[in-house]
A and B are shown apart, each in its own frame.
Chain A
Amino acid sequence: MREELIISGRMNPMVDPTLNIWHWQIPLYLFLGGVAAGILFFASLYYIMGREKKYPAAIKWAPMLTPFLLILGLGALFLDLNHKAFFWQLYLTIRLESPMSWGAWTLLIITPVSIIWSATWLKELKPEWHWKYPILDQWEAYFKKHRFVIAWIMLLSAVVLGVYTGILLSAFNARPLWNTSILGPLFFASSLSTGAAVIMLMAKSHLERNIFSRIDLMMIGIELFLIVHMFMGFQASTQVQIDAANMFLGGQYTEVFWIFVVFIGLVIPAFLEVLELLGFKIPIVITSTLVLTGGLFLRFIIVYAGQASRYLY
């Protein structure tokens, strides 16, 4: 028998007995940022491809939610900081090694871009809308002229935002569950899937809903593949990573992960989407809500379980 005790006592708050440094704020932000990244990705991609008439919800209406999602997420991130008065230190340096630095700068780009993008479409949503100051009219005309450039900036920063949330966690080699490069693509696939779910909710035409339903189905397939792949990788790796995988394969996170993320968040919506493609009438609100719930649970479970996984020595 082998037992290890800290005989001098060590109960540093939020570190002992197991790491508990990140609470609800981080997974909530990862989710909101992911949804926003997904929506903006499709908006800019389809705008660049010239599908403005075909997919109005994706290009015009859904992006109007993203400034709110991003600001809410940023608020959650700010709440998480323990030395709040010094948050501006993030913007005095660019640290290429630190995913969090990448994220902070990306948010600084994508948040105003999402506001500008939404503002340029506002008059199409509300024809009676008029800006209070004439300078805003000039700006609007300017940005409308350069929508193509904005779309490219948005596309690139949406990809960075979607991928970095996963890389942020996988950069922590001290937490074996997070320390897998699958998390980047997994979170990105999840953010595209949840973004498509929001677009599906807002789409008015059957065609658009159908296309995004198919995209969502594809993303769910990719997510399922990545999840299986992640556990296979863990099982073939070192003891600490086998232990990390076992938290989901019989351990304390088994039920919540397989029921809420895999079954409710991926398998059921995929089934409903297949039924819909076969011609059955399925209320879109059910499918979308399930996908969004699954995405939220995925972030929460990965963040919490990752903190419980550790090296033993």
Chain B
Amino acid sequence: MRFAMAIDTKKCVGCSDCVVACQTENNVPIGYCRDWVVEVNDGTYPQLEMEIRSERCNHCTNSPCVRCCPTGASHYDYGGTVLVTAHKCIGCGACIASCPYDARYTHPKGYVDKCTFCVHRVKDGLPPACVAVCPTKCLYFGDTDDPRSELSQVLKKRKFKRLIPEAGTNPNLYFLI
């Protein structure tokens, strides 16, 4: 099993609903966020192009954060998700420095926190909170190891890109373009 997410940049309108849903679902402290929306504007008027991406932890297959963690608090978990065990984390910041996507932050309580792909929901058969609330249905969550999953089907049909694959992390967020 290999959980991944696809984000349809042609459908995303940048409403930031995913961000708020995540903050609500996961009790993210005020002033912090586990996912965020990036808008890229390219070109000069009238040849303008815009891309909107909902971004979060890439749950990389070759995670530098897991590699750098001195205590094993950052680890691979259910379905390849990258999670942090709070009571093992010493808050040294090595994983934060090692993440090319800057997807992690230090929780006010001291440990490091990040997107979990809402595994607590996924284990119950529910989609992650951000996917569940997306009003344009531009987020796809699923198992890339299962060729019949909706996610695998979408990735077969559509062109996609991944963010900085040259960082060698083998990321698992696919941006449909």
Q: Which residues of A are at the interface with B, using a C-beta cutoff of 8 A?
A: 1-16, 19, 21-22, 80-87, 89-90, 92-93, 95, 97-101, 103-104, 171-175, 238, 307, 310-311, 313
Contacts and interface: CB of A to CB of B under 8 A. Distances in A.
A313 B68 contact: no
B132 interface: no
A87 B90 contact: yes
A19 B88 CA distance: 23
Contacts of A175: 97
A242 to B, nearest CB: 14
B164 A313 contact: yes
Given A8-B33, A82-B111, A83-B89, A100 B104 contact: no
Q: Secondary structure at chain A's binding surface: helix, strand, loop or mixed?
A: loop
Contact of A10 (B36, B73, B164): B36
Interface of B: 14, 16, 19, 31-33, 35-44, 52, 64, 67-73, 86-94, 96-100, 102, 104-106, 109-112, 163-164, 166-168
The residue in B16, B44, B91 that gathers the most chain A C-beta atoms within 10 A of its C-beta is: B91
Given A81-B91, A83-B89, A311-B164, A12 B110 contact: no
A5 B92 CA distance: 29
B90 A8 contact: no
A174 B97 contact: yes
A2 B42 contact: yes
A81 B72 CA distance: 16
A86 B89 contact: yes
Given A15-B96, A19-B102, A82-B110, A10 B33 contact: yes
Contact of A95 (B72, B98, B100, B164): B72
Given A81-B92, A82-B91, 11 more contacts: A5-B39, A5-B41, A7-B52, A12-B105, A13-B105, A13-B106, A86-B89, A95-B70, A100-B92, A171-B68, A172-B94
Contacts of B163: 313
A90 B71 contact: yes
A99 to B, nearest CB: 8
A14 B96 contact: yes
Contacts of B166: 238
